[in-house]
């Protein structure tokens, strides 16, 4: 039986296919269409399906639209249609306004029409958004039973859900509704501090530089933490879904930062207080959930679950012995969650207890395809059977290498198949990477990929910390090691590690092992292979990013491209193949 999971309701559009409950393919639309987040989150485009992702999934499953038995969509229009929004001042077509809600519900009605135009005649299941988040974590986790916590901006009306998973069942115990939303609180403060609503990762990095105590009094005016672990927010001050920041400016005593303005100490302090309050909210909810279902395990999903600082705080201080965070915890993961919910909860199929460290379900390519892409773009290359050893040597000599191997990983973190790798011993590597490709703020840390068997020698690694396999938790760096790997140690002495197992990614594990043999350091700096764009997906994407930046080497499988060996080939008019169409015409509006 084939089940297609789809998310396109807001952003992070994605698709996946399960075959008899086993994940076959999973990818995000942004990797194909090269538009960040797949599309803009508008009330009018929920029916703009992730067509490229769907095509890829069908191709991977060797299936046609008519082979799909069930389609799971990660939103429930019927639940949304009953919502009565708080009385607020809206501009026409703002989210939550009567006009926008009518348009939004109309766009959801078009989803089935669009699927039929693509050739599907499957049964469609409309899955509650928070349930899809929770299912993405629980059914993908190693646990037979677990507490489940979804922390988001908003679904239909809920921002948070407390659930319990046991074998095939996933039961919602309690929800918290808009405007009480941790996700929206982060989006609002991202904009207040001069970033976009998608830059929570920047705010999280900035928080380590500030004093969380400075703005505690001000935060008490907008956030109430209750003894039972729940919370509420004052939207008269926060003004979610509005460009009005005057109440926040009056409360905190400074004006909204613009993007080009310098970051000052009060910005750092506000970020630090936001992070501390988020830690408290997550811990309070976890304790509340533990009382309702005293499991030793907890699964997390939703965009807030990408906060690796809160995840670490939860495991260290909370009532659970083991924590699992969905690697694609944002809305992209809801396609997997909705499909998994149909297979397990609705069709009553037992959950597998197997531990999953595997995230490589995206497109992969043959050596012939690598060669074709390089030749079409006039790039010379050399073949190396021992490419892992060659790249390890280059990295140890200070080179930045684009490492493009095997199937693309899912989730917002590059986990060793679409990565830029560099030497963590080089204290100047942040500046080097910024000049050559990344162009990021210098306060943001880079992350290390470390051999699983050596991680505890270099970092404080807690038992039951599954997020360490996905860069979703922070770990204190061993005191005697911090000076050896300065480029991956944050200002607070922590690192957001990726434990690399031989089983889940043998080629990347082999690269790091060779680097260890050369340097005595069992880790490399790993950052996503991109430059202010979605992570690269195809060889053509990798070549494009390589050519327009100053990456030293590109490793496509066993083929190695050296920048210095190229001449006129480093141009911008690169050739790409016509997309393969395995469905009917794309009829997006």
pLDDT, average across residues 95-102: 86
Provide the pLDDT confidence category of residue 568 given band limits of 50, 70 and 90: low
Q: How far apart are CA 262 and CA 98, in angstroms?
A: 39
Beta carbons within 8 Å of 361's beta carbon, 6+ residues apart: 16, 23, 24, 25, 26, 27, 407, 408, 410
Task: Identify the residue whose tokens are 């705010």.
Answer: 203
**Residue 117 pLDDT greater than 90, yes or no:** yes
Query: Which of 402-406, 426-430, 474-478 comes out lowest in average pLDDT?
Result: 426-430
What's the pLDDT tens digit per position in 13-32? Answer: 999 999 999 999 999 999 99
**Residue 570 pLDDT greater than 90, yes or no:** no
pLDDT at 98: 86
pLDDT, average across residues 345-369: 90
> What's the distance, CA 124 to chain centroid?
26
Of 121, 8, 19, the closest CA to residue 60 belongs to 19
pLDDT, average across residues 529-540: 96
Q: How far apart are CA 533 and CA 535, in angstroms?
A: 6
Q: List, in order of start, the domains of the chain with CATH numbers.
A: 2-133+330-346 (3.30.420.40), 182-293 (3.30.420.40), 367-565 (3.90.870.20)
Question: Beta strand 322-325 with 297-301: parallel, antiparallel or unpaired?
Answer: parallel
What's the pLDDT tens digit per position in 418-439? Answer: 999 999 999 999 889 988 888 8
């Amino acid at each position: 039986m084939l089940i297609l999971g789809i998310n396109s309701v807001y952003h992070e559009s994605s698709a996946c296919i399960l075959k008899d409950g086993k994940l076959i393919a999973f990818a995000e639309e942004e990797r194909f269409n090269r538009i960040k987040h797949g599309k803009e989150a508008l009330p009018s485009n929920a029916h703009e399906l992730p067509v490229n992702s769907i095509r890829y999934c069908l191709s991977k499953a060797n299936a046609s639209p008519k082979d799909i038995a069930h389609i799971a969509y990660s939103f429930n229009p019927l639940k949304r249609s009953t919502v009565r929004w708080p009385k607020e001042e809206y501009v026409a077509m703002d989210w939550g306004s009567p006009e926008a809600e009518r348009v939004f519900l109309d766009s959801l009605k078009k989803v089935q029409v669009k699927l039929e135009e693509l050739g599907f005649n499957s049964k469609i299941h409309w899955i509650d958004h928070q349930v899809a988040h929770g299912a993405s974590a629980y059914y993908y986790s190693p646990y037979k039973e677990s507490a489940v916590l979804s922390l988001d901006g908003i679904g239909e009306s809920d921002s948070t859900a407390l659930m319990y998973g046991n074998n095939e069942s996933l039961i919602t115990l309690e929800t918290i509704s808009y405007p009480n939303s941790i996700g929206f609180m982060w989006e609002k403060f991202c904009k207040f501090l001069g970033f976009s609503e998608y830059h929570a990762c920047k705010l999280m990095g900035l928080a380590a530089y500030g004093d969380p105590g400075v703005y505690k009094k001000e935060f008490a005016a907008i956030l109430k933490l209750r003894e039972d672990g729940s919370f509420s927010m004052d939207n008269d001050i926060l003004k979610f879904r509005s460009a009005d920041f005057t109440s926040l400016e009056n409360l905190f005593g400074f004006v909204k930062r613009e993007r080009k303005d310098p970051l000052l100490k009060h910005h750092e302090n506000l970020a630090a207080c936001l992070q501390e309050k988020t830690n408290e909210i997550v811990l309070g909810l976890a304790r509340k959930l533990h009382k309702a279902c005293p499991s030793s395990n907890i699964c997390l999903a939703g965009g807030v679950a990408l906060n690796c600082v809160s995840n670490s705080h939860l495991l260290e201080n909370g009532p659970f012995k083991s924590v699992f965070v969905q690697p694609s915890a944002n809305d992209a993961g809801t396609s997997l969650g909705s499909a998994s919910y149909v297979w397990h909860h609705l069709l009553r199929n037992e959950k597998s207890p197997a531990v999953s460290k595997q995230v490589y379900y995206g497109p992969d390519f043959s050596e012939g395809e690598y060669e074709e892409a390089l030749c079409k773009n006039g790039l010379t290359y050399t073949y190396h059977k021992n490419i892992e050893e060659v790249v390890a040597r280059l990295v140890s000599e200070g080179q930045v290498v684009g490492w493009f191997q095997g199937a693309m990983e899912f989730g917002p973190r590059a986990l060793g198949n679409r990565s830029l790798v560099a030497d963590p011993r080089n204290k100047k590597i942040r500046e080097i990477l910024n000049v050559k490709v990344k162009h990021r703020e210098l306060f943001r840390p880079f992350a290390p990929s470390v051999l699983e068997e050596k991680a505890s020698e270099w970092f404080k690694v807690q038992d039951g910390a599954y997020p360490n396999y996905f860069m979703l938790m922070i770990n204190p760096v061993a005191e005697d090691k911090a000076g050896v790997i300065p480029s991956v140690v944050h200002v607070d002495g922590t690192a957001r590690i990726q434990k690399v197992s031989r089983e889940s990614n043998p080629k990347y594990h082999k690269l790091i092992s060779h680097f260890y043999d050369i340097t005595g350091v069992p880790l490399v700096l790993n950052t996503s292979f991109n430059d202010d764009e979605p992570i690269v997906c195809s060889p053509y994407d990798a070549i494009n990013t390589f050519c327009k930046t100053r990456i030293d080497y590109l490793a496509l499988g066993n083929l190695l491209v050296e920048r210095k060996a190229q001449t006129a080939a480093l141009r911008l008019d690169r050739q790409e193949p016509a997309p393969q169409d395995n469905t009917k015409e794309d009829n997006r509006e």
